[in-house]
Structure 1
């Protein structure tokens, strides 16, 4: 487990007076403001975020020392991380995406399928992108109870039962 969780990203400038366009990844989007301080991915920068108002696909916000559009644009693409101890506890069947990355994924027969590379969401359910074992290929498995019946964070493993057609066919003679 990581010490920090990605809770949002800076999407660039909003206007010309140093306001930022913020995308929140929190279940309650406004909560991003409560996780202070926020950090850059490498931990080298710290941010105190103040939401000004909702805008399309996010929030307009201020960060101290960002006074111009150029300052704001320079931060475009910076992911914002909160300390794990500030985050709420989750129910047993919910997980922070950061906790799923790099977990080994096995099928229901105990065969290693691969490792979780990323967790994606394109508007419906979450998808686990698996780096397939022994290859450079990836595939996506729906992160549903049917397709992923077991997530064991303490053992560092997931048991998956992917729908037919998700995994590449293997030649078994």
Structure 2
């Protein structure tokens, strides 16, 4: 399994207790959908290593996991900061007008008023506001992800339709 065949589920943020449990941050909209999680791939020095979930407890703002064969504080501590992955084929299907962030990388950004602008490089998931990154005139431009700005994604044509606020592009072009 390679990272290209997976999506990032979250990250191990800290240890929990002394028996090998870890806290993980789930980078998902609905953490409860993962309460029956059986296994994940853990990024260990660039390699995806399968880990089997022995126990998972999902609480608001905290998910505690016990992996099989991780039964000491030291073994849990060795996993700190590691990213967790799942295969793309286990992602739930979305409604027609919805998309996963990884799907729009490489899409052409087309603004309602300005026309074709650039190509999506990545999407940053931030605590307050997710941001689409694109290059425009050799500058990185960040587009806030909101229903009023990101209008739709045409998966067949690989186009991200947006309605940028007036002056947003100018902020990035001015020195």
**Fold shared per TM-score above 0.5:** yes
The equivalent residue for 1:76 is 80
Structure 1 pair 49–165 and aligned structure 2 pair: CA distance change class (3 A): farther
- Structure with more of its chain in strand, by fraction: 2
In 2, Cα distance between equivalents of 1:23 and 1:14: 13
Q: Which runs of 4+ in 1 moved over 6 A?
A: none
Instruction: Tell me if structure 1 keeps the 8 A contact 2:41–2:51.
Output: yes
**How many Å apart are 1:160 and its aligned residue?**
1.8
Cα RMSD for the two superposed structures: 2.6
CA-CA distance at 1:4 after TM superposition: 1.9
**Which stretches in structure 2 are left out of the alignment for 5+ residues?**
none
Q: Which residue of 2 aligns with 1:62?
A: 66
Q: How does 1:1-173 map to 2 (within 5 A)?
A: 2-41=4-43, 44-54=48-58, 57-108=61-112, 109-123=114-128, 126-128=130-132, 130-135=133-138, 137-168=139-170
User: CA separation of 1:142/1:85 partners in 2, compared to 1, >3 Å: closer, same or farther?
Assistant: same
Structure 2-normalised TM-score? 0.78
8 Å Cα contact 1:38-1:82 kept in structure 2: yes
The structure-2 alpha-carbon separation of the partners of 1:10 and 1:53, relative to structure 1 and needing over 3 Å to count, comes to: same
Gap runs ≥5 in structure 1: none
